[in-house]
Structure 1
Amino acid sequence: MTDTVLPLKGIIPPLVTPLLGRDEIDVDGTRRLVDHVIEGGVHGLFILGTSGEAPSLSHKTQQEFIQIACEQIQGRVPVLVGITDTSMTESIEFAKFSQSCGADAVVLATPYYFPMHQQDLKRYIEEMAAELPLPFLLYNMPSHTKVSYEIGTIESLMKLEKFIGVKDSSADMLYYNKLIELKSERENFTVLVGPEELMAQSVLMGGDGGISGGANLAPSLYVSLYEAAVTEDLREVHRLQHQVLRLSKSLYEVGAAPTGYLAGIKTALGFTGLCSDRLCEPLYEMPEERKQVIHQHMSDLGLFESMRTEGIASQGIKKKSNS
């Protein structure tokens, strides 16, 4: 990654992985989705993260998706590739493959099976960093991996030249504020937030942007919110934040499982015709009655109307009627 794209800033959607079947990529859907989000003004793409269902995909399918996505992106925006694995060897090889496809950086989740002391976690990252061909960010998501990158561990890793940032999905804003303090110690160091509901707040605190899942569907909305936060246009932040919260509640809270947000965003994308709504086992698509709830919510939000009148890459959310 060149200095011209450092530090990473803005809206970097965690691209969903369009599927037609088990270990079968929806190639046309992937191409449409990539173009859709880039034309919506996003500042980068994060592939094979949580929203990309990476832990459920075979290594073969993950590599196929990286190749297809990078070919379609064609260098238009920086590409981050998630690595969520318990094998250092596989992780390093995966990073090498990502580099060969044109990725700019990798994003390292903690190993997720064995409990780890922070000293061992620090050593693990140091040893891996020595062999990584790309810069890396750390991915803090303790709700999923059950292991957190503690602030002291991150601080001790700041000496590594290839370490360029953190994606924090903990939703702990005290923790996030400590990351912002660390950011001041390193030039071109990026701090990104995962939960999109916190993106504007995080930018106002001094953060660099968000890995916002809803930007798969409505990229321009999240880009506009980010830009309003950067310029500290608080009136516009309040207006657009309200829209993001409505989208989040309408799409992510319909599913019963904690992973309902994944089914929600894929169902919505399926209704737009961008890509298939299929999830990868062990996750399954919503029952038809819940899909229809999502469809109604999308209609209420004005998403279909916006896509028809403004083009599929430029959405706003219709104001809620007072009636």
Structure 2
Amino acid sequence: MSARKTAVVVCPGRGTYNKAELGYLGRHFPDAGLLAEFDRQRAEAGQETLSALDGADRFSLAKHTRGDNASGLIFAATLGDFLSIDRDEIDILAVTGNSMGWYSALACAGATSPGDGFRVANTMGTFMQDALIGGQLVYPFLGDDWRPDAERKAALLAMVADIDARAEHVLALSIDLGGMLVLAGNEAGLKAFESEAEPIDGRFPMRLGNHAAFHTHLQQPVAERGRAALAPELFTQPKLPMVDGRGAIWWPHASDNDALWDYTLGHQVTESYDFTRAITVAAREFAPDLFIVTGPGTTLGGAVAQSLILADWRAMGSKADFKARQESDPLLVSMGMAEQRGLVTAQ
């Protein structure tokens, strides 16, 4: 890059460390001492170290996607990528994240130390796996052209509400994810949606393996366990602004640490996570040149682009508009893509 760019950094959530990401920490994590600290925490808890998981000969869906393993791997990959951004070339204005990416955002923004941030992410991922209450599925409401369709979204959410109102059925919006609805609930609620929603491309509705009913009231026991295990003292004033899953901004020198603890281990766990709103607020409040999506994985870029289209950011109204803008003057960089990573790192 010829001139210093401004950026909002976006941290991915669960489901982003898969077969292609095996070895990601070995390839990209920039601080061996810090990785050793994460490994020490895992070993003390009787868990397999990140180095061993990441350095395995082959990827295991059953092992690597479990919450107690995936959360630590994703947090470390995200933080490592954040630390690898060339700050001489990139001026980071703010940080946000999707779902468990909020835990990563806390550490990236300095609202926790790296070690304490890892403790939060690893602990909550372990508690989620221990309980494994309910499940999640994803379903798109935008067409292939990504043109906003508020009526389609409203109709789907009405279907969700109807199912949730039935006896012994639980179903709710878990994550508002660009052009995708991530729904969560109990087995009866999920099966009802799967049977009643129109199938799309032979893929959707798509059930997410090893995922619980994140961001719903079903996670209240996990939230309570997290609050008992993780003290407010782990949280401090952020050094960078953070946009949370409501679209609220936590500003440096003006954030209430106890309120941050309460949100992170309360609302963030048991209420819907509005990633679309977070990206909209980040775009309008900070007007960055770039949105940088850290690794692992490459799947969150589409949700960021769709969120910007839904926000009518820079007059983009469709997938074609976004692609034309991206080709002429890129505004989205995915660090999980080798061809884009070098745009924001010194590597």
Q: Same fold (TM over 0.5)?
A: no
Q: Higher relative CO (CA 8 A, sep ≥ 6), structure 1 or 2?
A: 2
